[in-house]
Amino acid sequence: MIFQNTLEFAKELDQKDELKNYRNEFIFPQLNGENVIYFTGNSLGLQPKSAKNYVDEVMNDWANLAVEGHFFADKPWWDYHERFAEPLSKLVGAKPSEVTVMNTLTVNLHLLMVSFYKPTTKRYKIICEEKAFPSDQYMFQSQVNFHGYKPEDAIVEIKRREGENNIRLEDIISKINEVGDELALVLFGGVNYYTGQVFDMKSITDAGHKVGAIVGFDLAHAAGNIKLDLHNWNVDFAAWCSYKYMNSGPGNASGCFIHEKHHSSDLPRFAGWWAQKKEKRFLMEPNFDPTVGADGWQVSNLPVLTLAPYLASVEMFAEVGMDKLIAKRNQITAYLEFILHEIDKEIDGTEFEIITPSNQDERACQLSVFLHGQGKDLFHYLMKNGVITDWREPNVIRLAPAPFYCSYEDMYKFGQILKTGILSLSKS
């Protein structure tokens, strides 16, 4: 499609947008009585209007039924999490028994590493991406230390080549082969949080398995953003948070995937009563007999109040389906990219550089923009003028036009605000 940097053209794209009505299903922060332009759905998704109803339902059941709500609420609490299995499994390309919801992301990755990182003197190394999200880095270091190995020896980071912004698949594969039979675990992001680069999870999984390693993914920036096919890719395990693209609310619960092939294995796991087979859970017997499936990794009884808005969101995703979201995501991200290039040309062509891959197969809903000029002043200008974005050191703003609620008109307006900002700051 040939894009135009005009309000009329943007409005025309909105008119044709199959998902346009979903924008009204979300609550936008206001500036001077208008919706802000929200680019941080990759950090905290907007609140769906339905979320409050789901929370109120639990609050009312708690008020009216108290402890009886466990079994007699409309959506009983004791198996509330089972409502996620079907819709959530579709979102990540899994079987319903392969997904569960519990805890929070880093906690779940630690728990999964209990099962899937079992270093031996010969095979103890972990491969991850350079500049992984800090929580993942601390997790790797602490896990390696816990098992008595040295992080500088046991953690192998795949680096970007000199002068390049993204990691090459061939470099990942060759490092996996090089580490070979010393490699215990590959644990990669599905989408890099900083650059928005999408990794080829199938190829990474195949390569890891070929040398006898376990392969897992942190899908914080992938869940609800890209097409996932975890079961068929033969991924061993994965976890994600739900508050980014999945719009479930601040700090909210995580989701986990554990491949079916591991369900009946005797992998070590840290146990708790909520993993106990449903029919035995309230018998309070001493023998641990876990549910077969990802639910068998649960620990505590679930925080139903936080699952409520997550369920509201998952049901919205199930209603639309990832295919439509991805189609709009590709188009609106391409439009944003076009707008950025147009504005840059209208000024002098040196203001910024997009460090996210330009190839649509290697990116999703995020453009990371390296600002050469005004940097942080420009970021503050944008925020003051109703463009919500985020700043990442040393000089990057991340723009994620989430397809559920961002409009093409937003992209056009953003371009105008950006241009005015650059011009006014360069004068001052």
Ligand X SMILES: *Cc1c(COP(=O)(O)O)cnc(C)c1O
Residue numbers in the known binding site for pyridoxal 5'-phosphate are 105-106, 133-136, 218, 221, 243, 273, 301
What is the distance between the alpha carbons of residues 241 and 219, in angstroms, rounded to a whole number?
8
Beta strands in 159-230 (DSSP E): 183-189, 214-218
Interface with ligand X (CB under 6 A), residue total 12
Instruction: Evaluate whether 328 touches 18 at the Cβ level (below 8 Å).
Output: yes
Q: Among the candidate windows 130-138, 276-284, 339-347, 357-365, which touches ligand X by CB under 6 A?
A: 130-138
Based on CB atoms, which residue is closest to ligand X, 189 or 293? 189
Q: Which residue of 22, 77, 80, 133 would you call a contact of ligand X, by CB under 6 A?
A: 133
What is the distance between the alpha carbons of residues 26 and 49, in angstroms, rounded to a whole number?
5
Of residues 94-123, which lie at the interface with ligand X (CB under 6 A)?
104-106
Q: Which residue of 98, 136, 236, 410 would you call a contact of ligand X, by CB under 6 A?
A: 136
Helix/strand/coil for 168:
coil
Binding to ligand X by residue 174, rule CB under 6 A?
no
Minimum distance between the CB of residue 191 and ligand X, rounded to whole angstroms? 8
Report the sign of the C-alpha dihedral through residues 134, 140, 141, 143, in that order.
positive
Q: Which residue of 53, 64, 135, 264 would you call a contact of ligand X, by CB under 6 A?
A: 135
Report the sign of the C-alpha dihedral through residues 23, 26, 31, 37, in that order.
negative
Minimum distance between the CB of residue 208 and ligand X, rounded to whole angstroms? 18
Based on CB atoms, which residue is closest to ligand X, 10 or 44? 44
What is the distance between the alpha carbons of residues 119 and 140, in angstroms, rounded to a whole number?
13
Based on CB atoms, which residue is closest to ligand X, 223 or 339? 223
Based on CB atoms, which residue is closest to ligand X, 98 or 136? 136
Based on CB atoms, which residue is closest to ligand X, 194 or 405? 194
* Burial call 115-153: b when 16+ CB within 10 Å, e when fewer: bbbebeeebbbbbbbebbbeebbebbeebbeeeebeeee
What is the distance between the alpha carbons of residues 367 and 369, in angstroms, rounded to a whole number?
6
Based on CB atoms, which residue is closest to ligand X, 136 or 295? 136
What is the distance between the alpha carbons of residues 382 and 144, in angstroms, rounded to a whole number?
42
* Single-letter amino acid, residue 85: A
Could you tell me the two tokens for 363?
């990116």
Where residue 28 falls (left for φ over 0; alpha for ψ -120 to 50; beta otherwise) is beta
Q: Among the candidate windows 128-136, 145-153, 204-212, 303-311, which touches ligand X by CB under 6 A?
A: 128-136
Minimum distance between the CB of residue 264 and ligand X, rounded to whole angstroms? 29
Minimum distance between the CB of residue 112 and ligand X, rounded to whole angstroms? 13
Instruction: Evaluate whether 249 touches 83 at the Cβ level (below 8 Å).
Output: no
Of residues 25-84, which lie at the interface with ligand X (CB under 6 A)?
none
Q: Among the candidate windows 1-9, 131-139, 208-216, 369-377, which touches ligand X by CB under 6 A?
A: 131-139
Based on CB atoms, which residue is closest to ligand X, 40 or 331? 40
Of residues 239-258, which lie at the interface with ligand X (CB under 6 A)?
241
> What are the Cα distances from residue 20, in Å, to 14, 120, 230, 374?
6, 53, 29, 34
Minimum distance between the CB of residue 193 and ligand X, rounded to whole angstroms? 4
Structure letter (DSSP) for residue 102: E
Q: Mask 209-228, x = binds ligand X (CB under 6 A)?
A: ---------x-xx-------
Based on CB atoms, which residue is closest to ligand X, 221 or 413? 221
Q: Which residue of 189, 249, 296, 403 would you call a contact of ligand X, by CB under 6 A?
A: 189
DSSP lists the bridge partners of residue 363 as 197
Residue numbers of the site for ligand X (CB under 6 A)? 104-106, 133, 135-136, 189, 193, 218, 220-221, 241
